[in-house]
Structure 1
Amino acid sequence: MHVKKPPVPVPVLLLTGIVAISFSAIFVKWSSAPASVQGMYRLLFTSLLMLPFAPRYGEEIKAISRKEWLLLGASGFMLALHFLLWMGSLKYTSVASSTMIMSLEPVFIMVGSFLLYKERSAVSAILGLAVAIVGVCLIGWGDVGLSPDNVKGDLLSIGGTAAVAVHLLIGKKLVARIPSYLYSLIVFILAGAVFAVYNGVSGISFFDYPPREWGIFVLLAVVPTVFGHILFNWLLQYTSATTVSMSILGEPVGASILAFMLLGERLTGLQWSGGVLVLGGLAFYLYMGSRAAAREQEELIRQANERLQMPGSVI
């Protein structure tokens, strides 16, 4: 079977994506604008970059039902809430603590998938997530010794992680009927509108920012979004979802290194220990999940072959 290859080697592209998403927290830290303004312009500029490809999806837009529009609205609201809480967390806690807690997203998705779709995970995979949760507790305990504000930032990051998990769970249902590009564009626009309403009601200025801030808003849209998340989505046609998921775990590591080099942030021993447990536990979870998926696929193929070998089988 011929395997497609990208114009640039996959490892190079994966490394590019990891570095790009690692800069997200750095840009947020560099900006003095409110988190809601950063989130609004990140979504707005990303949407503007995506809009030129929208006309080809005219028929798909017309086919979206009223119920699906309501779900799209809910997904957009949760995405806005995620950005508001996570970006807000970086005003109080370190880049390392916030991004390591954010990497717990699979925990919330696993719980949500069980509650909404009755999907079960292997005991070994759950063990990996349990180790990651212990790691987050260590990070939080290390932050307690630094400042109450650090703990507030950790809690905001946890809230942001829960919000993005709900956003992804809603998206999982919608992308079965709506093209992923169209889903992303609509949700980005709706989330940006949520921010616009929030900023308007709160009396937060839309335009009163120096050129440096506008540059950061553009960088937030281009670097971690286009060269990070969109690049990872594009790579799914060349490599496995597990490889991409494992690579995204590099964000806390990359962000921590960048924060040390560019912001002078240092970690305590407890934070380092917690970070190792978080990343190790999540890596084990993803590895066991990929093995379980492979076994399930092999079983489906075996059953299909058995049916084909039965007398009277019709293809």
Structure 2
Amino acid sequence: MTRTAIQRAAATDRGVGGNTTLVIAGAASLSLSATFVKLADVTSGTAAFLRCLIALVALAPMALWELHRRGAMPKQLYPMAIGAGVFLGADYVMWTASILDVGASIATVLINVQVVVLPLIALVVDRTAIPRRFLLAVPSMLLGVALAGGLIGGTGDDIALRGSVLGIAAGAAYAAYLFLNRRSTQRSPDHLVTPICVATASAAVTAGVVSAGLGDLDLDISASAWGWMIALALLGQVAAWLFISSGSRSLAANTVAALLLLQPVLALAFAFMVLGERSTWIQLAGAAVVVGAVWTATRHPRNRQS
């Protein structure tokens, strides 16, 4: 291998490592979301709507600055961002209801059916091949998710059927959002904030309409609830999606999906430390399985040939 080739390979490794770190940082930020929702103690529709509405206060000025500095985003990407927001709004409404039904940690685990759905969407729409190592790791990932969420080894009494169904449906919508958002940032790398801002606005409208229609929207909440909603919007919405969008555009869909499986593992830790939700040894074993499967699915072995 020539010196130039070695330098290029090293630069690629650094890029992959940096993008992986960004996605992990986004997963860590998202993992706090369920805890914030529980602490706010508001209805699912209220939480879904307010997290998007408050996030727009931070995202809108950033998007305007980006458009001023880098020019207009291609017009064909706006429908994509709006569609992504519809899926995100539906995800938030269903997922927040799941949190209230089955708890912060289990709901965060259930939503990660995206690990299978996202690569499948990429395969069907973009004909993106799924690496063999990822396919081999999927059963372990799903087993770890089921163990960590208490779906295996639990009493069954603690998991409401509605919460489980909503959590899984939220995961499918979540995968659709991730796919559309990732495609948007790939097609216009200069625009990171703008598609997130448009999608968040679309999500706010979707969550607001659905929640109001179900009679689940209540804006008369306490000062402490507003505080937790602000924290949710800024950390679990703005920071999380900026990290994930920035890192995911240069990573394969299956890699992004696998890395985001760290979210339920971290959610177990935060739920224990903040909410006192205690995990069983089976759940902790499941978290360890998830970490191992993610490492297996996303590692990039070096070419040792010279």
Matched, 1:184 2:196: yes
Q: Is the 8 A contact 1:80 1:194 kept in 2?
A: yes
Matched, 1:71 2:83: no
Matched, 1:267 2:276: no
The equivalent of 2:158 in structure 1 is 147
Cα distance in 2 between the residues matched to 1:160 and 1:126:
23
> Which of the numbers 77, 84, 94 marks the counterpart of 2:103?
94
CA shift in 2, pair 1:52/1:184, >3 Å: same
The equivalent of 1:198 in structure 2 is 210
The equivalent of 2:45 in structure 1 is 36
Q: Is the 8 A contact 2:84 2:176 kept in 1?
A: yes
Cα distance in 1 between the residues matched to 2:135 and 2:46:
37
Return the offset for 1:227: 4.2
Cα distance in 2 between the residues matched to 1:115 and 1:232:
22
Return the offset for 1:14: 8.8
Return the offset for 1:16: 6.9
Comparing 192-201 with 243-252, which one deviates more in the overlay?
243-252
Cα distance in 2 between the residues matched to 1:29 and 1:105:
23
Comparing 27-36 with 263-272, which one deviates more in the overlay?
263-272
> Which of the numbers 269, 273, 294 marks the counterpart of 1:282?
294
CA shift in 2, pair 1:285/1:90, >3 Å: same
Aligned residue type for 1:145: G
**Equivalent residues in 2 for 1:13-28, closer than 5 Å:** 20-28=29-37
> Which of the numbers 239, 242, 250 marks the counterpart of 1:230?
242
The equivalent of 2:122 in structure 1 is 113
The equivalent of 1:255 in structure 2 is 267
CA shift in 2, pair 1:201/1:168, >3 Å: same
| Aligned CA-pair RMSD | 3.6
CA shift in 2, pair 1:148/1:255, >3 Å: closer
The equivalent of 2:3 in structure 1 is none
Q: Is the 8 A contact 1:104 1:282 kept in 2?
A: no
Comparing 248-257 with 181-190, which one deviates more in the overlay?
248-257
> Which of the numbers 52, 58, 61 marks the counterpart of 1:52?
61
The equivalent of 1:309 in structure 2 is none
Return the offset for 1:191: 0.7
Runs of at least 5 residues in structure 1 that lack an aligned partner in the other structure: 299-315
CA shift in 2, pair 1:88/1:174, >3 Å: same
The equivalent of 1:85 in structure 2 is 94
Structure with higher Rg: it is: 1
CA shift in 2, pair 1:271/1:245, >3 Å: same
**What percent of counterpart residues are identical?**
21
Q: Is the 8 A contact 2:27 2:262 kept in 1?
A: yes
Q: Is the 8 A contact 2:26 2:243 kept in 1?
A: yes
Residues 190-242 of structure 1: per-residue CA shift (max 9 Å, x gap): 110112222332334442111111111101011223444424555789xx859
User: Normalising by structure 1, what TM-score?
Assistant: 0.75
Cα distance in 1 between the residues matched to 2:274 and 2:19:
28
Cα distance in 2 between the residues matched to 1:20 and 1:45:
16
Cα distance in 1 between the residues matched to 2:258 and 2:284:
19
Return the offset for 1:258: 2.0
Q: Is the 8 A contact 2:45 2:217 kept in 1?
A: no
Question: Number of residue pairs matched?
Answer: 282
User: Normalising by structure 2, what TM-score?
Assistant: 0.77
Aligned residue type for 1:262: V
Cα distance in 2 between the residues matched to 1:101 and 1:280:
19
The equivalent of 1:305 in structure 2 is none
Cα distance in 1 between the residues matched to 2:45 and 2:120:
28
CA shift in 2, pair 1:11/1:64, >3 Å: closer
Cα distance in 2 between the residues matched to 1:73 and 1:81:
13
